[in-house]
Amino acid sequence: MDIQYVAPRTLDEAVRAFAAAAGAGRILAGGTDLLVQMRNGVVAPGTIVDIKKIGELTSIEETKDGGFRVGAAVSGAVLREHAKLSKVWPGVVEATNLIGSTQVQGRATPGGNLCNGSPAGDSVPAMVAAGAIVTIQGPNGRREMPVEKVPKGPGRLNLEPGEIVVSFTLPPRGKGSSDAYLRMIPRTEMDIAVVGCGVSLTMDGGTCTAARVGLGAVAPTVLLVEEAAKALIGSKLDDAALAKAAAACSAACRPIDDKRGTIAYRTKVAGVLLKRTTLIAAERAGGK
């Protein structure tokens, strides 16, 4: 069968082309997953819909209320070069920048990272911690969804046929707020997370007044760990509060056993990373 490549200029055209291809359509953002999957024979698309000619998908804008709207097909390198975004959401930017090499950073996108559906995608726990809202457009129009609701399982998404992830909206940040992301890998660079942890929090006079925790690579999907956030909120991030939040992270883990990490290891490291990530976020937010 002929493979088609289309690079529409508008989102409406992209949605039409993607929907028309039915199950045989594939969205091309950075291509760092798709081209590998095509080469390995994992996918054989009938139509490749390149979304990088669409302005809304390739731009970063500040929203009226002081947040950011990040196009799903913005590359990691472009995210990092956005000075204001890097200052306001350092955890989201550092997480996205952990994906692959410099070459991969020139192409790989947060939209692709989310839609690849890997539980170990680095940008996803940071987006979950940030409370990012995903805008989706499909044949039935536009809708929004919290980022943690998008993954359904490894490689599977809660999207309807023909729906395309358009952008991530990051909320405005008050004073004393910041975020951070850490991942555990057995090497220093260029590997897939054994555990990934994103923490976003607000500090007021040494007390944590708001927090969200995202955990990756420890369950079939990236997790929002509300119990861990509850343990942090209201505390001064003292040892007892951190230990309680770490225990909540470990309790939330339902990991696989594989060559990169055993169940016991991933479960323990989830708690360790929670503590470290929280302290980095708090330091960035202005200190404990």
Task: In angstroms, give the least distance from the CB of 230 to another protein.
Answer: 37
Of 260, 263, 249, nearest to 129 by C-alpha is 249
E-strand ranges in the chain read: 4-6, 25-28, 47-50, 60-62, 68-71, 133-138, 141-146, 151-153, 156-157, 164-170, 177-184, 195-204, 207-216, 223-224
Tokens representing residue 257 in the block: 């056993």
Task: In angstroms, give the least distance from the CB of 78 to another protein.
Answer: 9
Is the Cβ of residue 49 or residue 248 nearer to another protein in the bound state?
Answer: 49
Task: In angstroms, give the least distance from the CB of 192 to another protein.
Answer: 12
**Residue 41 touches another protein, criterion: CB under 8 A:** no
Contact 181, 255 (CB under 8 A): no
Is the Cβ of residue 4 or residue 209 nearer to another protein in the bound state?
Answer: 4
Q: Taking contact as CB under 8 A, which single stretch among the options 24-32, 148-156, 197-205, 209-217 is the one that binds another protein?
A: 24-32
Measured between alpha carbons, how far is residue 98 from residues 120, 125, 141 in Å? 12, 12, 33
Using CB under 8 A as the binding rule, the residues of this chain from 94 to 123 that contact another protein are 100-104, 106-107
CA triplet 236, 239, 244: central angle to 5 degrees?
Answer: 95
Is the Cβ of residue 102 or residue 141 nearer to another protein in the bound state?
Answer: 102
**Residue 189 touches another protein, criterion: CB under 8 A:** yes
Binding residues for another protein, rule: CB under 8 A, are 2-5, 7, 28, 30-32, 35-36, 38-40, 45, 48, 50, 52, 75, 77, 100-104, 106-107, 189-190
